[in-house]
Structure 1
Amino acid sequence: MPAIVECRFNGFGHTNLALAIFVSGVRARKYTLWAKETLGRQLDGRAGRPFKVGGGAHSEKPEEKSAGNLSVLRKSGRAVVILKESMAIEEEVLYLTELLRVKVYDLKGRDIGTLRDAALVPLIDPVRLDRYLVGAGPGWLSIRYDQIESIGPDGIRLKDERLTPYHSDEYMLRMVRDLLDQQIIDAQGRKVVRVNDVTFLKQRENGHDVLHILEVDIGLRSMMRRVLRGIVPPATVRTLQTHIHPHSIRWEFCNILEADPQRRVRLNISNKLLEDMHPADLADIVENLGHEDRQAIFNTMDSETAAELLSEVEPGIQTRILESLKAEKAADILEEMEPSEAADLLNELEHERSEQILDEMQPEEKEEVEELREFREDTAGGLMDSGFLALPEDATVAQAMDELKRDEEILEDLHSIFLVDSDNKLRAIVPLAKLIFAAGDTPLKNLASDSLVFVQADENQGRVAEMFDKYNLLSLPVVDAQQRLMGVITVDDVVALLRQG
């Protein structure tokens, strides 16, 4: 039965075609097929579903174009590439566990050692194996990818005699040392996984075999390959594994955990996949990581993203993270958090540690947090934030709009504008939504709510929650004994409070 490759198709001249390969007895695999010797182009692999050509009452006759071992059928803007039996796609896929300890032969067919590891050099190519590390006698040899004639489970044959001893290279991401049996983050599945094996695509380029990393394997298939390696022939293992559902992660969705910031740069490791995740999902991942891996993530993230993440992490883990970071980094993160939350976190730390972090904070943020630390955590003052907009009683809609434009970040959690007198006493509350259709010269007090609902800073948190429920509030101003405006509590603060309780 021929293998079928399905792809989106935008004309035979288009270079990037999404495809999925289906082989008899083999489930769909996601990888790149190099067809340079036949169609003269690279087909860029993605997952897909098989596309049946013909077979319907209204089926149109497909257009066909052949070249070498490939036959391309185009129909309704899509294409099917049919590979002849001489091209066995499954043989193009190799596994790391199949290759480890295979013999390496020189140009004369002499055994010079066994494969011990292989490495990417991400700054050169993020997916192509660049070096093969061969155990030969007391030391190792480093073999470049372009020195290899052929590679497979039966051995590696070289095309070049100029071999060099292996020296540790921090620009290398080694498959055995850095990936196999290591924890990584599956950014698509949003979980921490352990790598059991690595899948490569073997391609023929310029007369020699080249391996490109496709995915890491984490399921039962990969465990079986490791258990049976050296006991059962690879061909038999492949036959057995077809009865087990594959469980793997595409390489582009793998996030490597590396604590050393300099090595992350050398290996071109980015946190973009993690930073694009929802903070709550990423928090679940972080809570399942070890101490060093957590520290690595926070040390390499920008402070704003790290602050959002820290807010979602369980309280006990929050303090351990802050204790592990350098004071300067911890301060940068806390400056991006709501002041009340930052104050609560600092109160959970040892006095000496919290003072170290405060000393690294900017003066304005430091003063704000220190003021909030004076309130007990179980009071309204302990819940409130300083992110509010207060304007004079005689302010207009136009003035309010000008203030909002000057500080757009405040809009994220702003529900109301507070009107105060010359002594900063709260006089009225204006829902933000009322500004939308109001004329610019309209006095804000004309749009104020009929009732003035507020809470004093020393009120207990239980009463605060009751007020949000009773009055269906989105925000609640906090005042002192003289009714001077001090801060605001938002519905998000109350939800977080209830979640903890």
Structure 2
Amino acid sequence: MHEKQPTTTLTSLMGTPVTDVHGKLRGKVADLAVGTGSDAGKVLGLVLKSRHGRELVAATEVRQTPSGTLELRPEAGLRPLRGDENYILLRQDLLDRQIIDVHGRKVVRVNDVDLQWFAADAVAGDVSIDSGSRSGAVEDLRVREVEVGLRGAVRRIFQGALPKATIDSLARKVPARVIPWDFVDMIEVDPARRVKLNIEHERLAQLHPSDIADILEDLAPAEREAILTTLDEEVAAEALEEVEPKLQKSMMESLDSETAAGIVEEMDPSAAADLLAELPEARSEAILEEMDPEDRQEVEELLEFRENSAAGRMTTEYVSVPNTAIVGDAIQALREFEGDIETITEVYLLDAEEVLKGVVPLARIVLALPESRLEVLSESRFITCPADAHQDRVADLFDRYNLRALPILDSKGRLAGVIEADHVIAFLRAGR
């Protein structure tokens, strides 16, 4: 029968004496160095405070003793801590810092770190550890979870003032609030160190844009910038569109023009135009200058319209085909569409002059035969709106006719853009 692997905490380890095999004090634990990437969560070394300064020893070269101290193996070697190593120092980089709990979709503060000792073979298989007899087994120390509740705070408050056994007894009476290490996304504001630690926020990027936006709103400015610049530009754009407008402006102003342009290019053109319209003219121009010419032209055209007009709220990303097209043509157009396909609810039929001649719901296209003519599937009546109409008129049309999308026409009846339902929700939430 296997015994439970022994556990400890960062707070409990801090200040623990480390001796050599003859009992001579070599230093006290000052921090733990944890790996990233393939070594994520593995304690690679213990940082000791010794008479020579801060020194590093591999975790596998240290073993526990029955008295609670740590002992160096005979072959153990200490080396000075340079400070440029690519690992996380738990006390320095994690304790009292804000992290992202990707499972809980929120920002939390770390009060302590829970760790677990393993025999080297136990990590891969089924070797148990006898906590009273460790003279031969090579040990592996790993981060199990981080504590974000009062239990970790209790340990730290009484650290050094009470015996460890008493502190542990008190802490166990407090309910635990922990996050498994697999759900932790660290925030590193220093770009150079972020690259060194290979922090990419891959787990954060898998969340819904609205959840990422909520997390961004809870962070300090430097931390928001750190997150935005390491997220994929498309993910960053989707999240930014969900952020409150004033905060959008602040975040854009904190980024360099090239980075900002990369994110704006991935935004819906209407949202991008609204955002750039809120920035100082010089800043907006600098971002536009860095954008791809085609994307820049699209956004600049939208910037010419009043923000509270129908044209100011529309997007120019829609799917259209000639009014003589068949279902197969519409499906091909959908496949080639480079915008957010999830927003598409209708396909628009245009004549040679780009005048709107029909609207075909996506559901009818899906159910029809490939050779069916689209004009036959078109709505018998469809609602449109002039480009210069006030946004209140737009909201009234969506409400009255229960629309999914609203085509916006110029003075000659040509399709200028489309307003989607989520655009209307956005400006209604902002109080029109």
Fold-level match, TM-score > 0.5? yes
Deviation at 1:144, TM superposition (A): 1.5
Which range is displaced more, 269-278 or 255-264? 255-264
Answer whether contact 1:397 1:441 (CA < 8 A) is retained.
yes
Q: 1:117–1:132: 8 Å Cα contact kept in structure 2?
A: yes
1:10-49 equivalence runs, <5 A: none
Within-5 A mapping of 1:44-55: none
The answer (yes or no) to whether the contact 1:256–1:269 under 8 Å persists in 2 is: yes
3-state SS of the aligned residue for 1:246?
coil
1:321 Cα deviation from its structure 2 partner: 1.0
- Corresponding residue for residue 184 of structure 1: 99
Q: Give the helix-richer structure, 1 or 2.
A: 2
1:216 CA displacement: 0.7
In percent, how many aligned pairs have the same letter?
40
Instruction: Label 1:249 to 1:138 Cα distance change in 2 as closer, same or farther (>3 A).
Output: same
* 1:174 maps to 2:104: no
| 1:150 paired residue number | 64
Matched, 1:236 2:151: no
Q: What pairs up with 1:106-145 in 2 under 5 angstroms?
A: 106-123=20-37, 125-137=39-51, 139-145=53-59
CA-based RMSD: 1.9
- Equivalent AA in structure 2 for residue 254 of structure 1: V
The residue type equivalent to 2:95 in the other structure is L
> Which of 265, 271, 293 is matched with 1:341 structurally?
271
The structure showing larger relative contact order (alpha-carbon pairs under 8 Å, at least 6 residues apart) is 2
Q: 1:226 to 1:446 in 2, by over 3 A?
A: same
CA apart distance, 1:119: 0.5
3-state secondary structure, aligned to 1:309: helix
Cα distance change, pair 413–154 in 1 and its aligned pair in 2 (3 A)? same
Q: Aligned with 1:215: secondary structure?
A: strand
When the two structures are superposed, what TM-score results if normalisation uses the length of structure 1?
0.79
Q: CA deviation at 1:151?
A: 6.0
Distance across 2 between alignment mates of 1:357 and 1:101? 51
What is the identity, as a one-letter code, of the residue corresponding to 1:394? T
Residue 201 in structure 1 maps to residue 131 in structure 2: no
Counterpart of 1:488 (choices 406, 411, 418) is 418
1:104 aligned to 2:5? no
Distance 1:148 1:458 in 2: 74
Say if 2:284 is the partner of 1:358.
no
Q: Which runs of 4+ in 1 moved over 6 A?
A: none
What corresponds to 1:479 in structure 2?
409
Q: Report if aligned partners of 1:151, 1:209 keep a CA contact under 8 Å in 2.
A: no
Q: For each residue in 1:278-310, what CA deviation from the matched residue of structure 2 results, as whole angstroms up to 9, or x when unmatched?
A: 111121111010111100111001111001110
Map Cα deviations across residues 133-192 of structure 1 (whole Å, 9 max, x no partner). 111125122112232132688322111363222221331210111011111111111111
What residue is the counterpart of 1:419 in the other structure? 349
Q: How many residues align?
A: 415
TM normalised by structure 2 equals 0.91
Asked if the contact 2:385/2:394 (under 8 Å) is kept, the reply is yes
Question: In the TM superposition, what are the counterparts of 1:265-304 in structure 2 within 5 Å?
Answer: 265-304=195-234
Q: Does 1:223 align with 2:137?
A: no
Q: Runs of 5+ in structure 1 lacking a partner?
A: 1-69, 71-82
**SS of residue paired to 1:436:** helix
Aligned to 2:188, what secondary structure does the other structure show?
A: coil
Contact conserved, 1:123 with 1:266, CA < 8 A, in 2?
A: no
The structure that has the greater radius of gyration is 1
Residue by residue, what CA displacement relative to the aligned partner does 1:196-236 show, whole Å, maximum 9, x if unpaired?
11111022346244311101111111111111111221112
2:368 to 421, 424, 438: 438
The 2-side partners of 1:237 and 1:485 are apart by 71
Q: CA deviation at 1:123?
A: 4.6
What amino acid is the match of 2:252?
L
